[in-house]
Amino acid sequence: MKSRLDEILTGLLSITNSNPSRNDAIELWSQDALVPVAFIGHRREGAPAPVYGEANFLRRLLWSAVAALGIVTAATAISADSVRFPMMRTIGVPTNAAAGIALFKLDEDIFAKTDDAYANMRIFDSRGHEVPFLVRVAKHTRPVVTEFAVPMATISFEKQHDNRIEIVTESRSNDVSPSVVVVVTDRKDYEKQVTVSGSKDCAIWEILALNTPIFDYSRQINLRNNRIEISPGHYRYYKLEIGNFSESHQSPLVSIVRETNAGLITKETEESTFVNEEFKVDDIKFLEKRESVAETENESQFHPVHDLIVTNDSEKQDTIISIDVRRSPVASLTVFARDANFNRSVDVCGTDRLEEEATRNQGRTRIEEWHRVVSSVISKVELGEFRQDRTTIRFDKTRRYRRYRIIVRNMDSPPLNIYGVKAEGEVHEALFFCNPKHQYKLLYGAKSVDAPRYDISDVLDKTVGVGSEPCALGDEEQNPHFNSALAESDQTIVRGRSLLVGAILLMVGTLVWLIIAAVRGLNRMA
């Protein structure tokens, strides 16, 4: 600010001293704030030249005070509103845009240097005025798919010689097209192959799903599937063929036969028995998928992931995955592994510190820097034609941390071969009322600033679906008015209006004193 004042004052003195015999209009403007700095007199053509001496001195002193007021006002406007924000980007409003609502989407450069509430972000127009804005989650509409039960009646049940059963059902509703079949059973530890066919006359059958596995491995792992996806069609009859209907299982009971001679055991035999167990179907449900009225939901995107680091802790039997997302809003993380057929517990933690800052403290890990986000389970199954990938870890809410650490609990299983992580989360956008005749810039990255309070936030928040002008952001650059000494201080930013009011009050007092002194001096001369 000091260099700016020196520049304006030097210009003022050079103009006033270049020809002291003139008292023409002198108008100074601050190039950055675009506000008038001073307006010094105007002498009509042909008017007598001013009398030099004490009166002229007092007159020049008075106008210099007015110029100082404008200079302080302009410099105060610049320093109060922009010196604490180190980063700046231009907002490109389309030249053919009509006056209305403009918006731009935030990117990882803005996420990395703003807080969760975007309190350290401001928008200014080309006049130096602060422009109210609102940051919200971008939304879009999509159709909702809902499953409805289709009424069915079982009309036949047959056992085949090749250890299969056939169940034929008839639809009780016209113009329905089920796409999912659910086999309901209370059995545990099974694996069956199911073929589903459809027919309009119960004579000619079309295969809708061939040898689709249904299974339950709950005795060994929390893994179960009893849904069969079928090709939708308007059929009246549906036939289910379930293979390997009857299975022999070793009984958990073991009989022990001992032979004794003279009270001593001479022979001991263990005998195991096998039990023939048939698969029990409690119910068969047919579901039809229908698209209902579209609803509004939060828009999401994949955020860039940096610095993927995978390490294995053999002592704790854990695989540790570390990533950097630059404080992007993340709602889920997906782990990519080359392995298959696993089911592992995972813990996710987050931190806003850099990796070297969070792990270096006299050679010991600073555990307190990591904050727990969620605990979950990831699994991946590939059995024959069956594929199931559940490696996405969903958060309870959107989080904004710089780094995330995923701890995979391997226990006695071999470590997973991790080759990637994908971060998905909300899309954040900023809205403001724009005028295409003005230019706009975005300032952000300040420290210790108060969040702005705008009365138009409620108005802008109700504009979902209202036409708006998308704007492009320029490249990130340094704010030329940034003051590092002020930015590092613990003082919170004071609103520019308060500074202006204080400056004006101070200058008004000075002007009153100067006017009184000038009047007294003129009276003495008279």
Residue scoring higher pLDDT (57 or 512)? 512
Of 11-25, 103-117, 446-460, the least confident? 11-25
The answer to whether residue 274 scores a pLDDT higher than 80 is: no
As a whole number of angstroms, the distance between CA 109 and CA 125 comes to 21
Q: Are strands 100-105 and 469-470 parallel, antiparallel or unpaired?
A: parallel
What's the half-sphere exposure (Cβ side, CA atoms, 13 Å) at 300?
A: 13
Q: pLDDT per residue over 144-199, tens digit each?
A: 888 999 999 999 999 988 889 999 999 988 788 999 999 999 988 888 999 999 99
Can you list the alpha helix ranges (DSSP code H) found in 174-302?
none
pLDDT (average), residues 7-26:
44
- What is 274-291 written as a DSSP string? EEEEE----EEEEEEEEE
Read off the pLDDT band of 437 (50, 70, 90): confident
pLDDT on residue 506: 74
Q: Tell me if domain 146-244+279-292 and domain 300-426 are identical in fold.
A: yes
Read off the pLDDT band of 295 (50, 70, 90): low
Q: pLDDT per residue over 316-335, tens digit each?
A: 999 999 999 999 999 999 99
pLDDT on residue 98: 66
**HEC states along 365-425?**
CCHHHCEEEEEEEEEEEEECCEEEEECEEEEEEEECCCEEEEEEECCCCCCCCEEEEEEEE
What's the half-sphere exposure (Cβ side, CA atoms, 13 Å) at 364?
A: 4
142 bridge partner residues: 295
CB 368 within 8 A of CB 451: no
The answer to whether residue 16 scores a pLDDT higher than 50 is: no
The CATH number of the structural domain formed by 146-244+279-292 is 2.60.120.260
Read off the pLDDT band of 462 (50, 70, 90): low
Number of other CB atoms surrounding residue 111 within 10 Å:
19
Task: Show Cβ contacts of residue 13 under 8 Å, excluding neighbours closer than 6 positions.
Answer: none
Radius of gyration for the alpha carbons in the chain, expressed in angstroms and rounded = 39
Q: Is 53 helix (H, G, I), strand (E, B) or coil?
A: coil
pLDDT on residue 39: 39
Residue scoring higher pLDDT (130 or 78)? 130
Report the mean per-residue pLDDT for the chain: 79
The answer to whether residue 34 scores a pLDDT higher than 50 is: no
CB 319 within 8 A of CB 312: yes
pLDDT on residue 13: 45
pLDDT on residue 257: 72
What's the burial of 160, exposed, middle or buried (CB within 10 Å: 0-12/13-18/19+)? exposed
**Which structure tokens are listed for 110?**
């803005």
Residue scoring higher pLDDT (358 or 349)? 349
Q: pLDDT per residue over 225-249, tens digit each?
A: 999 999 998 899 999 999 988 877 6
As a whole number of angstroms, the distance between CA 503 and CA 70 comes to 10
The answer to whether residue 38 scores a pLDDT higher than 50 is: no
Read off the pLDDT band of 440 (50, 70, 90): very high
Q: Which fold has domain 300-426?
A: Jelly Rolls (2.60.120)
Closest among 47, 81, 80, 39 to 63, alpha carbons compared: 39
Task: Using alpha carbons only, give the angle 345, 359, 485 rounded to the nearest 5 degrees.
Answer: 130
pTM to 2 decimal places = 0.59
pLDDT on residue 97: 67
Q: pLDDT per residue over 100-155, tens digit each?
A: 888 999 999 999 999 999 999 999 998 889 999 999 999 887 778 889 999 999 99
pLDDT on residue 25: 39
The answer to whether residue 344 scores a pLDDT higher than 90 is: yes
Domain spans of the chain?
Answer: 2-81+498-525, 85-138+428-492, 146-244+279-292, 300-426
Residue scoring higher pLDDT (165 or 71)? 165
pLDDT on residue 244: 87
